[in-house]
Amino acid sequence: MKVLPTGSSAEGRYFTVSDFYEAGREELGLSLEAGGRNLKRVIEEPIANRPGLALTGFYEHFAWKRLQVIGKAETAYLDSLSPDTRRERFRALVDHHAFCFIYTNGQCPGHVEKEFAATSGVVLMSSPMKTRHFMHRSAFVLERLGAPATSIYGTMVEVCGLGVLIEGDPGLGKSETALGLIKRGCALIADDLTCIRKEVGNNTLYGSASESTAGYMEIRGIGIMHIPSLFGVSAVRGEKCLELVITFKRLQDVVGEIDRIGQTRRVRTILGVDVPNIIIPVSAGRDLVNLVETAAMQQKLLMSGGDPVFDLSERLKRRADSAMQSGRTLEYGKRKGRKVNGR
């Protein structure tokens, strides 16, 4: 699906009727039937609406900010009206600020609607899909168009089932590390630039490559590589939930910053979502592929409820308590022995 966001806001991207048409032309089979002056109109509520009651003259709670879908039921009702009444009902919807109508089931707008659209500027589209299927599929298209999104310089790989974003300064070996992981059976999601979108409903981030660079990697000294051609289609993923961010930093830049025990849980905030973050110092001789893979396995353990730091702390505490109790018992035995001998 082609996504063409018009702009962005704090709550997400805003987009126009034209953006929706371009994004859904292939997936929804959209055809532009009439109108056009409202193609630059921003869709304020990214959801489709069936204006059944509004066609009968009941306009209270009419969702005019949404795309209006004309299915078989709506078309049958309009066909039962005289041309003058049909024109007035359609005009009333436009007077109540409706701006885009989509006819499903392969139906096309009538002459009355087309004539009115030519003068009013409202947009008329059609789709061969059944209404229920169109309502379902269009919800995904609209959600993707309106979801908050950003781009991050970094390489994203699926490691041990987790979506892992590797970020850091140029030249630290992000792509080389990703290549090593792919040779171990992991999968590439995006190289160099990762597109992040937020699913507002469950406050989750998803990463993917841009449409033009999906499946490609650039390695210094080798050049551009097409990963599916080298390692097979299973070595690439289209989109993956982002569950861990690994930041590469030069060893001299993190002196005193790294928590060697791992008790401090870092997070990287992206689009308002906190993602676990691990800083890995980069220096000559360090096996970054092994470290990233182990970090992903460690994160899976933490997500399942395990906590090695807590477990080790409890073990040491029990051992200290046991040693203290043994010392008290020994001291008590010595005092008791002195009393017996003194008698």
3-state helix, strand, coil in the chain (%, to 5): 40, 25, 35
Rounded to the nearest 10 degrees, the angle between the axes of helix 111-120 and helix 83-95 is: 40
List pLDDT tens digits, range 285-310.
889 999 999 999 999 998 888 777 77
CA proximity to 138, closest of 184, 168, 100: 100
Domains and CATH numbers, the chain: 7-146 (3.40.1390.20), 149-303 (3.40.50.300)
Give the Å distances, CA to CA, from 184 to 157, 219, 289, 290: 12, 17, 9, 10
* pLDDT on residue 296: 94
Q: Looking at residue 6, what is its pLDDT?
A: 47
Beta bridge pairs of residue 168: 248
The residues, ordered by sequence, that sit 6+ positions from 37 with a Cβ below 8 Å of its Cβ are 121
d(CA 103, CA 87): 16
Q: Could you report the per-residue pLDDT of 32-73, keeping only the tens digit for each?
A: 988 777 788 888 888 899 999 999 889 999 999 999 999 999
Q: Which amino acid is at 137?
A: R
For residue 3, the model assigns a pLDDT of: 41
Q: How far apart are CA 186 and CA 181, in angstroms?
A: 5
Q: Are the CB atoms for 278 and 295 separated by under 8 Å? A: yes
Task: In whole angstroms, give the CA distance from residue 3 to residue 19.
Answer: 7
Helix (H, G, I), strand (E, B) or coil at 1: coil
Low-confidence ranges of the chain (pLDDT < 70): 1-12, 256-263, 327-343
Per-residue model confidence (pLDDT) at position 114 = 86
Residue 89, CA distances (Å) to 163, 164, 182 in order? 51, 54, 60
pLDDT attached to residue 258: 67
Instruction: Write out the H or E segment, with its range, that includes residue 26.
Output: helix 17-27
Which pLDDT does position 145 carry in this prediction?
86
